[in-house]
Chains A and B, each alone.
Chain A
């Protein structure tokens, strides 16, 4: 191994521990080597920053090419038809909106107004054992909106220890798939002392599930627990719902 190979391996942290010790001793004893290492480090960083810049330019070009594709195909005639079409669609949609809202049951209205997908707050790690791979894949499917696949993966994860979150996220997947009857038992199975997400958050979603099933009384009794939990992020919204239901 020549001098530059050696310094490069040292800077990459690739020297075996015993060689690293010898090399560091040499650095202490001969300051001219320190200068060489410093010089090599600067070159290494400059090359790395340059390569990153090249890559970013390449990615930005890709974005610009992607954006340019639809613009080149658009024509004036197409645009005028498009505007008429959009206007017609808006009229139909407005009618549909009024019709669905006026004919909607109060439970469904509450669900539609207050339901939001719970974010993935459990960041997957890169390294890990087989169990955490399944976990990472489940959350990737969840983040991509593939709730069917995510639900299956979360179900498998419930065999693992400390997997309360899997019950919860499987429940959210079922709500997303418009299956509140399957979601509610999952939220109810969560332990009272569950954390991240906690039982109160599970109660909030179970209550919304009951509203969607038009079971207002069951939903109301769970929502009351959320409304009573001081300082909980869902408390203000739960109190709002309770006052609407009075």
Chain B
């Protein structure tokens, strides 16, 4: 396994240390690149953070099985997408080509984020205990199966994990049904 593959594996497992290393390593280079298109430093920083979030999410969901180029190149291509998209939305110069759009497998959930039920669910999630949040994150965010979650969290019985998950979900579902 080469360095890039190891980095990808760590990113896929949700390692914050790896994410921090990649974030700091490419931040300056991205900023230099983005300044050719805009002088708005806040916009550049936001776009870079969006790109890192997409990179982390795609790695954790297993959407990046192999890299045809380096992690840096992959991150830059996502960063270009987020930058050009923001510039286009703000009616500034930006070339959002079909090629770039097609290359980024990502759902932004911009519309859903305004759904009242989802807003309330998100607040309720913050009140759950750490174990519940971890199970739900692994299942819904990282798309892991119950068998995989059992191994990762050290559950000896799948049934125990299933009933714990059901308990975690119950309060969320109750909240949703009250709306």
Contact = CB atoms under 8 A, between A and B. Distances in A.
B109 A49 contact: yes
A177 interface: no
B85 interface: no
A140 B74 CA distance: 10
Contacts, number: 140
B69 A136 contact: yes
Nearest to A126: B103
Contacts of B137: 47, 51
A229 interface: no
A136 B73 contact: yes
A43 B171 CA distance: 12
B69 A137 contact: yes
B104 A63 contact: no
A47 B140 contact: yes
A124 B143 contact: no
B173 interface: yes
B68 A128 contact: yes
Contacts of B140: 8, 43-44, 47-48
Nearest to B52: A59
A42 B45 contact: no
A100 B19 CA distance: 46
Given A2-B146, A52-B57, A125 B118 contact: no
A5 B145 contact: yes
A162 interface: no
Nearest to B173: A39
Interface string A159-177: 0000000000000000000
Interface of B: 16, 19-20, 23-24, 29, 32-33, 36-37, 45, 49, 52-53, 56-57, 61, 68-70, 72-74, 76-78, 80, 84, 95, 97, 99-100, 102-104, 109, 112-113, 115, 117-118, 121-122, 125-126, 136-137, 139-141, 143, 145-146, 162, 165, 169, 172-173, 176
Counting from the closest, the 4 A-B pairs by CB-CB distance are A46-B121, A47-B140, A143-B33, A126-B103
Interface of A: 1-2, 4-5, 8, 12, 14, 39, 42-53, 55-56, 58-60, 62-63, 66, 117, 119-121, 123-130, 132-133, 136-137, 139-140, 143-145
